[in-house]
Amino acid sequence: DKTVSLRKDLSEMHEWITQAEEEYLERDFEYKTPEELQKAVEELKRAKEEATQKEVKVKLITDSVNSFIAKAPPAAHEALKKELDVLITSYQRLCSRLNGKCKTLEEVWACWRELLSYLDAENKWLNEIELKLKATENIQGGAEEISESLDSLERLMRHPEDNRNQIRELAQTLTDGGILDELINEKLEKFNTRWEELQQQAVRRQKSLEQSIQSAQETDKTLRLIQESLAVVDKQLTAYIADRVDAAQVPQEAQ
């Protein structure tokens, strides 16, 4: 009987839709690791593709039902037409929900990758600060050389806040959705602790270098005054020698 066959096809399709909804849309998912999140994205992509492929089956059932209705007595029309309408509505809703969830999870995965990218960039910058702090730890030289080191450190510290703001916003977006929250909080705590520590070290080093510059400038000034004084004495003594003045005659200069 054609009606039985059509109802069987409709029933099988309904079962597949119900199973897909339960498996991919009704379950509560928790993503605690990147691997779980990536696996979920891949599974939803496959489910979306499978649902798209079922469109051919739905069309065949629709054509078969409409063809049967066109030839069957009116009494058989209503029930089959209603079942077909329910099937089409359920199928379209499933496709829409799968597409929506797949898109959301792909955006979440992209958000996670972007967060890692910003963290990587900022940690590379922090590595540069660490190296600079080590290089300026026991710096030797005059005021000019120390001043160059200070300028170099200050240039490095003039780092825009954009990346750190992005890290905060991306992390908030993910953790608000309960996604990778433990892992993200751990990474952020480690990053923020390191950031604060290096900032404080850099500020202390800046002050230390400024004091070193001041000390070097004072030393340079003292040396310059001594050199000037020696030059005067040297000139005076040279004049005495030229005039054949005996040291006993000028005991202060002689000393």
Average pLDDT in the 137-153 region?
A: 87
pLDDT at 115: 97
pLDDT at 2: 74
**pLDDT tens readout for residues 100-137:** 999 999 999 999 999 999 999 999 999 999 999 999 98
Average pLDDT in the 30-43 region?
A: 91
pLDDT at 99 over 70: yes
Amino acid at 43: E
pLDDT at 31: 86
Average pLDDT in the 135-155 region?
A: 88
Asked whether the beta carbons of 229 and 156 are under 8 A apart, the reply is no
pTM: 0.78
pLDDT at 253: 62
Asked whether the beta carbons of 207 and 61 are under 8 A apart, the reply is no
What average pLDDT does the chain have? Answer: 89
Cα 175 to Cα 170: distance, rounded to the nearest angstrom:
9
What is the DSSP secondary-structure string of 101-112? HHHHHHHHHHHH
Cα 148 to Cα 143: distance, rounded to the nearest angstrom:
9
Cα angle value 38/42/44 (rounded, 5°): 115
**pLDDT tens readout for residues 38-71:** 999 999 999 999 999 999 999 999 999 998 888 8
Question: What are the distances in angstroms from CA 74 to CA 22, 69, 88, 196?
Answer: 36, 8, 21, 79
pLDDT at 77 over 90: no
pLDDT at 70: 83
Confidence of residue 18 (pLDDT cuts 50, 70, 90): very high
According to DSSP, residue 31 is labeled: -
- Domain ranges, ordered by start, for the chain: 2-212
pLDDT at 254 over 60: no
Cα 100 to Cα 47: distance, rounded to the nearest angstrom:
12
pLDDT at 203 over 90: yes
Q: What is the largest CA-CA distance in the chain?
A: 147
What's the full length of the chain, in residues? 255
Instruction: For residue 43, give every residue at least 6 positions away whose Cβ sits within 8 Å of its Cβ, in sequence order, or none.
Output: 24
Indicate the CATH number for domain 2-212: 1.20.58.60
